[in-house]
A = this chain, B = another copy of it.
């Protein structure tokens, strides 16, 4: 059975939307969607807010309440009939987030067994056929077939096969024979 490794932030979880909602609650209107193209939020806010935006990612509760990416649950269920599904999150960037990320996964994706949840900082360690990720840093080192999941920060990236949504993922990986 072929195996798919799936990233968490900005792929299963709509981390960017959650971060922007937090920002707008505390600071007022954030950057427009078009201004975020090619960048992360911290690079698009006034200079005096940047440190706060980066620090917020170290708040362990931040990761516990991120909304789902639209279509993610149904797609994972459908893909699970034909592939082995692993979730692979680079949680090492924010070590305080391990438990919150794990609890989030157990709540929203109970069909993925704990044994198939992976925290790793360098996804070249994954032995999988596909990696669905928003991070060019991870995709370029992965040894299988990389699929870039569209996020505002990666729209200019051209090195990888692109999927814009979970609908695109299932079309690509389930509708081919």
Contact = CB atoms under 8 A, between A and B. Distances in A.
Interface of A: 3, 5, 86, 88, 91-93, 95-96, 98-99, 102-103, 113-122, 124-128, 143
A118 B121 CA distance: 7
A92 B121 contact: no
B120 A118 contact: yes
B125 A86 contact: yes
A100 B102 CA distance: 15
The 3 A-B residue pairs whose C-beta atoms are closest, nearest first, are A115-B121, A98-B98, A127-B127
A133 B77 CA distance: 32
Given A118-B125, A124-B127, 8 more contacts: A92-B114, A95-B103, A115-B122, A116-B121, A116-B122, A117-B120, A118-B119, A126-B127
A120 B40 CA distance: 28
Given A98-B99, A99-B96, A102-B95, A121 B125 contact: no
A86 to B, nearest CB: 6
Contacts of A122: 86, 115-116
A143 B113 CA distance: 20
B95 A125 contact: no
